Amino acid sequence: MEIDLVRLNFSPQSLQILNIAIAVIMFGVALDMHPDDFRRVLRSPRAPVIGLACQFLLLPALAFCLTLLFKPQPSIALGLILVAACPGGNFSNFLTHFGGGNVALSVTMSSISTAVSILMTPLNLSFWGQMNPATAALLKSIAMDPADIFITVLQILILPLVLGMVVHVKLPKRAQQLKKPFQIFSLIFLVIFIGLALSKNLSYFIQFIGMAAWIVAITNALALAMGYFTARGLKLTPYDARAVSIEVGIQNAGFGLILVFNFFNGLGGMALICAWWGVWHLISGLALASFWRSRPLHFEPAEDVPFGASV
């Protein structure tokens, strides 16, 4: 059977659990966010604007170009564009901290990218998906409704984000107490859930993983490199560039899975790309952060120093 014809086994009950869990994870991420993260962009917009441009403009374009270059199966190609269109992953702030990057910039980009994804994720998926004739035919056959995606993003990402920030502002001590357990839950849940989803479809995974592994590895490596070298090429400091690199390369693959199962009926290639990206970017992100950790910067400014400050 071709991967484009595969529909993964995923019960409505499991989908509901995934939706709730992603919302809970986003609430936990937002416990570390503050309205000042958004105000900081207005005060020092250069670094976050460069990072977000990489994330929402260059990365989807890169994914699209790779689908034209390598010509994977349409569902694989559409899955790659979908992951590239998702906001930053909830593990990126930890990886930035571990790798000696600008955590304030990382948190700010996570906040903004999640908020902006309510428009940019469906827009990028629709625009770049229509540009490739193979994926365009797939989109037309599915008849994706951007309004439905908008509502899903609002419920699962934006509302928990707002609620978490409210707790941070109103109950800062409680937010600090809850932050670590939520981070641990996020990582454990995503690993277990992706593992269970793959185990229920183990035969498909074994049969088709070779189609996803190499193109995910290439795209993720290019995303990490693009974020870093674009930031450095535009004169951001290594401290900021590390944060931009991690934010661009670490995607919210769990949210991508939600879209696949909600709107694409568990389409095999798309689900495989999202699930494997969720595993692979943890491996690549930890490897890169460990490499940077072994090469500490000579000067790491405090978090209240404006983005783009010289080092």
Contact 95, 233 (CB under 8 A): no
Question: How high is the pLDDT of residue 302?
Answer: 47
- Give the mean pLDDT of 186-202: 68
Calculate the average pLDDT of the chain: 82
Contact 271, 8 (CB under 8 A): yes
Which of 8-12, 176-180, 234-238 is the least confident region?
A: 8-12
Q: Is the pLDDT of residue 311 over 60?
A: no
How many domains in the chain? 1
Q: Is residue 2 part of a domain?
A: no
Q: Is residue 307 part of a domain?
A: no
Q: Is residue 220 part of a domain?
A: yes
Place 37 in a pLDDT band, splitting at 50, 70 and 90.
low
Q: Is residue 18 part of a domain?
A: yes
Phi, psi of 18, rounded to the nearest 5 degrees = -65, -45
- Give the mean pLDDT of 3-25: 67
What percent of the chain is modeled with pLDDT above 90? 31
Closest Cα to residue 158, out of 187, 102, 189, 120? 120
Place 19 in a pLDDT band, splitting at 50, 70 and 90.
confident
Place 8 in a pLDDT band, splitting at 50, 70 and 90.
low
Is the overall model pTM greater than 0.85, yes or no?
no
Q: Rounded to whole angstroms, how far apart are CA atoms 28 and 177?
A: 11
The encoded tokens of residue 60 equal 């989807």
Identity at 269, one-letter amino acid code = G
CATH number, domain of 182, equals 1.20.1530.20
Alpha helices in the chain (DSSP H): 12-30, 35-43, 46-53, 59-70, 74-85, 92-98, 103-131, 133-142, 146-153, 159-170, 172-200, 202-233, 238-249, 253-263, 268-293
The tens digit of pLDDT for each residue in 62-120 reads 999 999 999 999 989 999 999 999 998 777 888 898 899 988 888 888 888 888 888 89
DSSP structure class, residue 34: -
Q: Which of residues 249 and 173 earns the better pLDDT score? A: 249
Q: Is residue 298 part of a domain?
A: no
DSSP structure class, residue 234: T
What percent of the chain is modeled with pLDDT above 70? 83
Contact 99, 242 (CB under 8 A): yes
Sign of the torsion angle spanned by Cα atoms 277, 283, 286, 289:
negative
Place 304 in a pLDDT band, splitting at 50, 70 and 90.
very low
Q: Is residue 112 part of a domain?
A: yes
Place 9 in a pLDDT band, splitting at 50, 70 and 90.
low
The tens digit of pLDDT for each residue in 53-70 reads 999 999 999 999 999 999
The tens digit of pLDDT for each residue in 171-184 reads 888 888 887 787 77
Place 303 in a pLDDT band, splitting at 50, 70 and 90.
very low
Q: Is residue 306 part of a domain?
A: no
Place 200 in a pLDDT band, splitting at 50, 70 and 90.
low
Question: How high is the pLDDT of residue 198?
Answer: 63
Range of the domain at 35: 11-293
Q: Is residue 5 part of a domain?
A: no
Q: Rounded to whole angstroms, how far apart are CA atoms 156 and 62?
A: 27
> Exposed, middle or buried, 26 (CB in 10 Å: 0-12/13-18/19+)?
buried
Which of 6-10, 241-245, 248-252 is the least confident region?
A: 6-10
Place 194 in a pLDDT band, splitting at 50, 70 and 90.
low
